[in-house]
Structure 1
């Protein structure tokens, strides 16, 4: 067969055309920005001309690298101290998340605890809600008059002034991030525990082994791969977290890599920020590579070959009711109490005074007053809030449509050409954005598109840039949904349509999509929710005309207008929970399904 005939045969198959187009697009949208980021660590930027003596814009320099790594006290303050803070926060947050999530998972799956369904559903709320939810709730509840300006709810109710270390800094950041990711640990570890073969534990009970020995010698080794995966993924997520350290760390100048990255990129030394972004990408990639290696290694240590249908639940006896009541209260505190604090704080005129006479609707429906919030009207009468809401909704819808559609096509083409080098290349490129921390990914696109590049004009400050970065960042979710949908579908179904001459686009819209609509819809709806609550990805790219609700919340918080910030947060949470409910109703998916009692 001639080359021309081979080419015609190749392009007659739609999945080949899709793979070639995606290979070109994703190379440009993932690898080129990374190269652009690396280049920007070696050049002089406009705001740095005065710092780098004798240089002009665009000159090559090692100035940033020397300042970050080799400049003594300066390097310590700029990089090493935030880096060490990031490591400490991430490690201890993992410990908190795994301990809490693993304990709840064991109680739900292995004990006769009461009210399992309620606890199981409510416990995952902090993971569904935006990451800063618990951070704002902690600040509302525990802030003190030394830094917060007015005491929080705890001091108002008890008269006890909280210490600085308890209200702000590393301790609350660890607790809040641990609570936020505890449901993630619960989901992963709980799934393993529920599906684990109970015969080994039953044999140990017959041999008179005590419960501690069974837990340490049998249960823990079996769930260790899930624990290790949870540890690595939570560590990576905590390392890239921005909102929680910003809300709870900046009041006491506690810096981590993400907050330092935000400060340098919005200041006079963007070159420093680009190096930090590169460091975060390297660490994130290394963590996920280690996770894949570890999980692959553990596959050779299989200890379970079957599943017993008769799971013997541990009898809590006298502790059954106290433990159950404690957990109900605990999940209520971390899932429901934050919403109450947001509502209360949004109606308080003078912070710290919780008497009825101090409640007001000014921050919701009031007209602008010069002595309150710089003259800003209540959020329901504020045109800028509606602009932010409109931008958030349209950005989420457009990003979900693009990433969902491209992800579905990518999943279709990758599965159809499974095993080929081209399909593997596209699959890796589609997953690549997942390896990058959100703020570092935003920094990459800022580096590449803030100025004219190749045939593309500067996109800085445009809605297009937000759509572009969101669509690429959430493509891994959509492509995995598309692949899962296609892997479950038999080839004979599409071949039947091909035999009777149905065009490809009709086969996709009339046969393939309707059959696997639940999986495909997840590829649209999950990016929508993720985009709606995202802050870290967009915070570096927003200008006044493209502001969204999450960045407005952050800006109000920075200005100290906490009532507005709490009201906006409540709106975001309601929208996120509403659409999460819609996802469950449309797709029948529930992330705690199969774990709860």
Structure 2
């Protein structure tokens, strides 16, 4: 059989065509842009010509590398100090996330604490909501008059002025991000604790080992892979976080790599920014490679056996009732109270004054006044806000549709050709965008599509670049969902249809998709929710005409129009929570299901 015949037979199978098309597209959209950003670190940009003497835009230079990495105090200020801040925050975030999440997982699965369904449901809410929700709530509650002159709710109620270290910078950023990522630990560690064979613990009890000895010698070693995975996931996510450090660090000029990257790309030093983006990408890839190795090592830890695993719950005795009540109150403070603070702050005319006479609906329904936010109308009468809401919804639907559809096709093709080079390559490429921090990914696409490249026009400033980057960035969620649901289907189902002469598209629409519609639906809805609450990915790429709600919130906050920012934040949170509720009703899915 000659090569032409083999090639023709190869492309007669739909999954081979899909794999080839996806391979080429993903190489162009994920790997080649990396080359573009590398080139931008050694290229003179038009805004830098006046500083890099004797050069022209487009010339080769090592200026950025020297200035960022080897320029003494200047390098310390613009790179090494933000890098150190980023690393320290990431470590503190991991400690808080594992401590809170792991502790809650143990209480829910191994103790007789009360209100388990309520505690379990409340604990995952901070992750369902956008990460910057808690950051804004912290500002509303704990900001002090020392920076900006406006006290927060805590100071207004108690008269106690919070110190700068408590209100801004390292401490609140670490706490907020730690609480946001604590559900990672809760889900991973809780899943293992729930299904772990209790025979070892029972044997230790028979040998009169204390609860602390059992915890140190048996329980912790068994959940070590989950703890390490949580550490690496939270560390990676914290490294790439932008919104929380921007909100809580900006008042005291506390910089991390992502906020410094934003400043340089928005300013006159884009080369610095692209170099920082490259550093973030390398750190992200390195962390995820370590994470993959840890996950692979998970195979050597058996937690479920065929033997009885009836778990004897730890009796909290006199601590049961007070601990249950205290945890319930704390979780309500973390999940419900922020929404109340947003509502209160969105009605306050004069910041810091919480008397009833100072409440007004002007920021919601006002027509606009020259003495308030330069005449900005209330958000319910604000055409810009409605345009941002429409942009957010349309963008989320587009990204979800394309990411979900491509994820289904990728999952189908990867499973059908499982084990081949092409299948493995496409599987890795669909996951690759997850390795790149969102801010760095935005910088890549800014570099790639800010100028025309061959037949592709400059996309910066268009809705197309937002839809493109959103689709590629959220493809890992959809593709993993597609792969998982296709792995559950036996080949016999489709083979029977092939024998009956049913075309491929009918097999997909009439057989495969209906059977796995619940799992497939999640491949569409997860990108939708992620897109609705995304800020870091789009902040470098939006223009006034393509602004979405999250970028508008950030811009209002930068201008000091906190009432509008709080109102928009409340709107976003309700949209995200409503969509999550719809997902739960349609699919029955719940990320805490099976633990609480």
CA contact (8 A) 2:192 2:303 kept: no
Is the CA contact (8 Å cut-off) linking 1:198 and 1:307 kept in structure 2?
no
Match of 1:174 in 2: 174
Show the counterpart of 1:527: 527
- Cα deviation 1:269-322 (Å, max 9, x = unaligned): 000000100000100110111111223235335476445341100000000001
Q: Deviations over 1:230-276 (max 9, x none)?
A: 00000000000000000000100000000000000000000000010
The aligned residue for residue 183 of structure 2 is: 183
Are the counterparts in 1 of residues 137 and 338 from structure 2 also a CA contact under 8 Å?
A: yes
Paired residues, what number?
A: 596
Partner of 2:340: 340
Determine if the alignment matches structure 1 residue 427 to structure 2 residue 417.
no
What is the rounded CA distance, in whole Å, between the counterparts of 1:298 and 1:384 in structure 2?
50
Deviations 1:207-250 (A, max 9, x none): 11001000010000000000000000000000000000000001
Match of 1:368 in 2: 368
**2:293 corresponds to:** 293
Partner of 2:28: 28
- In structure 2, the partner of 1:443 is 443
Structure 1 partner of 2:578: 578
Residue equivalent to 1:259: 259
2:150 aligned counterpart, secondary structure? coil
- Alpha-carbon distance between aligned partners in 1 of 2:290 and 2:159, rounded to the nearest angstrom: 49
**What residue in structure 2 maps to residue 149 of structure 1?**
149
Distance of 1:494 and 1:444 partners within structure 2: 40
1:475 maps onto 2:471 in alignment: no
User: In angstroms, what is the RMSD of aligned CA positions?
Assistant: 0.9
* 1:274 corresponds to: 274
Distance of 2:563 and 2:396 partners within structure 1: 25
Counterpart in 2 of 1:515?
515
Q: Separation in 1 of the partners of 2:575 and 2:301?
A: 44
**SS of residue in 1 equivalent to 2:254:** coil
- Residues 323-472 of structure 1 aligned to structure 2 (within 5 Å): 323-472=323-472
The residue that corresponds to 1:138 in the other structure is 138
The answer as to whether partners of 2:199 and 2:309 remain within 8 angstroms in 1 is no
Counterparts in 2 of 1:201-216, with a 5 A limit? 201-216=201-216
Alignment of 1:550-565 (within 5 A): 550-565=550-565
Q: 1:453 Cα deviation (Å)? A: 1.2
User: After superposition, what is the alpha-carbon deviation per residue over 1:167-209, rounded to whole angstroms, capped at 9, x for unaligned?
Assistant: 0011110111111111121111111110111111111111110
Equivalence for 2:319: 319
Question: How far apart, in 2, do the equivalents of 1:576 and 1:7 lie?
Answer: 47
* DSSP-derived class of the 2:553 partner: helix
Structure 1 residue 374, shift from structure 2 partner: 1.1
> Counterpart of 2:574 in 1: which secondary structure?
helix
Provide the C-alpha distance between the structure 1 equivalents of 2:301 and 2:468, rounded to a whole number of angstroms: 43
Compute the TM-score of the two structures, normalised by the length of structure 2: 0.99
SS in structure 2 opposite 1:592? coil
Q: What is the distance in 1 between the residues matched to 2:308 and 2:340?
A: 44
TM superposition shift of 1:146:
1.1
Please say which of residues 206-215 and 145-154 is displaced more in the overlay.
145-154
| Paired residue secondary structure (2:338) | helix
Alpha-carbon distance in 2 for matches of 1:433, 1:301: 29
Measured against aligned partners, the alpha-carbon deviations of 1:317-346 in whole angstroms (never above 9, x if no partner) come to: 000001101110011011110000000000
For residues 73 and 9 of structure 1, the distance between their equivalents in structure 2, rounded to whole angstroms, comes to: 63
1:5 matched to which residue of 2? 5
| Structure 2 residue 80 is the aligned partner of structure 1 residue 80 | yes
Runs of 4+ in structure 1 displaced over 2 angstroms?
294-309
Q: Structure 2: state its 5+ residue gaps.
A: none
Asked if structure 1 preserves the Cα contact closer than 8 Å seen for 2:225 and 2:297, the reply is: no
* Alpha-carbon distance between aligned partners in 1 of 2:110 and 2:80, rounded to the nearest angstrom: 44
Alpha-carbon deviation of 1:501?
1.1
Moved more, 147-156 or 88-97: 147-156
What is the rounded CA distance, in whole Å, between the counterparts of 1:183 and 1:329 in structure 2? 18
Contact persistence 2:197–2:303 (CA under 8 A): no
For 2:166 and 2:350, the matched residues in 1 are separated by: 23
In 2: Cα distance, 1:113 partner to 1:529 partner: 32
Determine if contact 1:196/1:307 at 8 Å carries over to the other structure: no
Are 2:379 and 2:568, in contact at CA under 8 Å, matched by a contact in 1?
A: yes
* Aligned position for 1:56: 56
SS at match of 2:354: coil
Contact 2:368 2:378 in 1 (8 A): yes
Q: How far apart, in 1, do the equivalents of 2:301 and 2:475 lie?
A: 33
Q: Distance in 1 between matches of 2:333 and 2:183?
A: 14
Mapped partners of 2:307, 2:193: distance in 1: 11
* Deviation string, structure 1 residues 130-150 (Cα, Å, up to 9, x no partner): 000000000000001111421
DSSP 3-state at the match of 1:44: coil
d(CA) in 2 for partners of 1:393, 1:303: 43
The alpha carbon displacement at 1:153 in A equals 0.7
Contact kept in structure 2, 1:78 and 1:260, CA below 8 Å: yes
Gaps of 5+ in 1: none
Which 10-residue stretch deviates more, 294-303 or 583-592?
294-303
Deviation at 1:89, TM superposition (A): 0.3
Aligned partners of 1:415 and 1:487 also within 8 Å: yes
Distance (Å, rounded) in 1 between the aligned partners of 2:13 and 2:304: 43
Q: Are 1:118 and 2:118 an aligned pair?
A: yes
CA deviations on 1:42-85 (whole Å, 9 max, x unpaired) are 10011100111100000000000000100001100110000000
